[in-house]
Amino acid sequence: MKILVIQLARLGDIYSTWPSLNALKRKFPNSQLDVMARKRFSNALLGMDAVDKIINLPTESIFAPILDKGEKWHRAFAESYDVLNNFINKHSDYDLIINLSFSPASSFLTYLLSNENTNVRGYTRFNDGFLSIPDDASAYFYAQVGVRKSNRFHLVDLFSEVCEVALEEDDWKINSSLVEKELNYPLEENYVVLHIGASEDHKVLNKEKWASILNQSRALTDKQIVMIGADNEADTANDINLLIRNKNILNIVGQTEIEDLFSIIGNAESFISCDSGPMHIASLCSTPCFNISSDTVRFWETGPKAKNSRIYQIKDFNTVGSDEIAHHLDGFINASVADEKVVLVNSNVSEYECLHEREDDFQWKLIRAIYLGADFPVPNNSNFIDALVQLSELNHIALQQLYAMDSKLDYSEHVNLLDRVDELMDTVTGVVKSTQPLVAWLKTEKVRTAPGETKDIVNSYLNLHNLFQDVLTIYLGDEAKYINSNETNLGGLDGHK
């Protein structure tokens, strides 16, 4: 059996894929397991023993004709197309393709690499070019995961769901030679690793803030601090080095290969960073991490997983005092009782322990009710119910149109109205955000409807809108139920009544 896992995202997502790759190899021990990644990030697969072959997506070769030929577009595009075409033809013999990338490009790629015998999980395309989401885990991702949404399942766990594997503790184990690799750095017995950078500016503290935190931390006064990072972070690291009082600093920013980080981080007492790729190496090495997380990042999805890690999320990096961050950092280093503002990581297989109320607690409970069968939460304000009343009215209009879509009639008018209902539901959700999980579920399930006869699509939509109404009825009571007064116009449709 040949399995291809497509992971076209960056370092953090690739490292978050490691446990699933181990689990896939455990589930299919005789399979050939290949992973496709972008060339500039595929180093993050070095040392991943479960993988038989790393396939680099040749983006440089694909773009070279376009960038080299300038205005000679026609020829340049033809050459780029040929490179892409050859690449697809070379890699289209897989029995199972699992796309863990969730991007439009990856969905087209998945479709083009699969054949009639390929089992596909993750985003792909229907034959008519529309997005196809064949598995429930990817549909959940589409509906509920990301910034401004309320998912709290970690990416590691979502990836495993898409791969259809149940993670075990052993799936987190990495080849010991990675951690035992001998490096010629003067590392002391107990040291702390600090990564000051991240892939995007909004995720990082500025150098003055870092220096101030390190100067105010009592727990770090006597510890060796090992600064790691990429080439482009070297100047910042040098500046921080000049600003901090602790002179027991080993600054090796820009000097390490990515696979060296397993040894450096794996043998450290702890790891400190914002939301960065090496934090995921700490998770794989079971090195506890103090993660200073930006409000623009969903730490629930991408935070540290090593036991005893702590997450301190900050709404605005500019306004929070460095003394406060240093206080929580010291609490982490000394393993003292955590302040309730800090999120705790108790193990790599359990949910985070969050001791304080969060704005989106209600939405998360709603998600658990929709997808896991938990009880529907009691709303804590009337806005939610008011919004549901509006959604119910809109849903009634949608049901009315769907029941009226007799195959003998021109249904373009009905379709226009249904589109308008979708837009208005978005507007309601935009105003009352707590309704977002419900509407996102409905819209996603509609996206999943396969192309086909109008009658079949209408039936599918009817089922979904009726299910949606059932949920609204839980909150609004039986008077919100839709009574179909248009049964004579059903035209053979087997819809809900």
Partner 1 sequence: MENRNEKVLHHAFIRVNQKAQKLIQEKAVDKETMKWLLLKELIKEQLPNENPSNTTR
Max CA pair span of the chain: 84
CA atoms 39, 179, 195, 170: torsion sign = positive
Which CB, 127 or 318, lies closer to partner 1?
127
Phi, psi for residue 33 in degrees, rounded to 5: -110, 110
Which CB, 81 or 423, lies closer to partner 1?
81
Neighbours of 274 (CB within 10 A): 22
Q: What DSSP state is assigned to residue 459?
A: H
* Residue with token string 């796309």: 99
Structure tokens, 123: 């985003």
Which CB, 61 or 308, lies closer to partner 1?
61
Which CB, 144 or 395, lies closer to partner 1?
144
In the bound complex, what is the minimum distance in angstroms from residue 459's beta carbon to partner 1? Answer: 24
In the bound complex, what is the minimum distance in angstroms from residue 304's beta carbon to partner 1? Answer: 19
Distance of CA 218 to the CA centre of its chain: 35
Residues engaged in binding partner 1 (CB under 8 A):
8-10, 13, 38, 41, 59, 62-63, 66-67, 70, 73, 76-77, 80-81, 84-85, 88, 101-105, 108-109, 111-112, 123, 125, 127-129, 141-142, 145-147, 200, 301
Amino acid identity for residue 415 in this structure: V
In the bound complex, what is the minimum distance in angstroms from residue 45's beta carbon to partner 1? Answer: 15
Q: What angle do CA 305, 310, 314 make, to 5 degrees?
A: 115
| Beta-bridge mates of residue 34 | 4, 53
From 489, 382, 360, select the one nearest 437 (Cα to Cα).
360
Inter-residue contact 260 to 285 (CB < 8 Å): no
Which CB, 198 or 285, lies closer to partner 1?
198
Amino acid identity for residue 70 in this structure: G
In the bound complex, what is the minimum distance in angstroms from residue 217's beta carbon to partner 1? Answer: 32
In the bound complex, what is the minimum distance in angstroms from residue 69's beta carbon to partner 1? Answer: 9
In the bound complex, what is the minimum distance in angstroms from residue 348's beta carbon to partner 1? Answer: 21
Helix H segments across 28-154?
59-69, 73-90, 104-113, 136-144
Phi, psi for residue 41 in degrees, rounded to 5: -115, -5
Q: How far apart are alpha carbons 329 and 335 in whole angstroms?
A: 10
In the bound complex, what is the minimum distance in angstroms from residue 429's beta carbon to partner 1? Answer: 17
Which CB, 85 or 255, lies closer to partner 1?
85
Q: What angle do CA 429, 480, 385 make, to 5 degrees?
A: 40
In the bound complex, what is the minimum distance in angstroms from residue 84's beta carbon to partner 1? Answer: 6
From 356, 382, 358, 374, select the one nearest 435 (Cα to Cα).
382
Which CB, 38 or 310, lies closer to partner 1?
38
Which CB, 6 or 391, lies closer to partner 1?
6
In the bound complex, what is the minimum distance in angstroms from residue 77's beta carbon to partner 1? Answer: 6
Which CB, 25 or 154, lies closer to partner 1?
154
Which SS3 state, helix, strand or coil, does residue 222 take?
A: coil
Distance of CA 481 to the CA centre of its chain: 36
In 478-495, which positions are buried (b, 16+ CB within 10 angstroms) versus exposed (e)?
eebebebebeeebeebeb
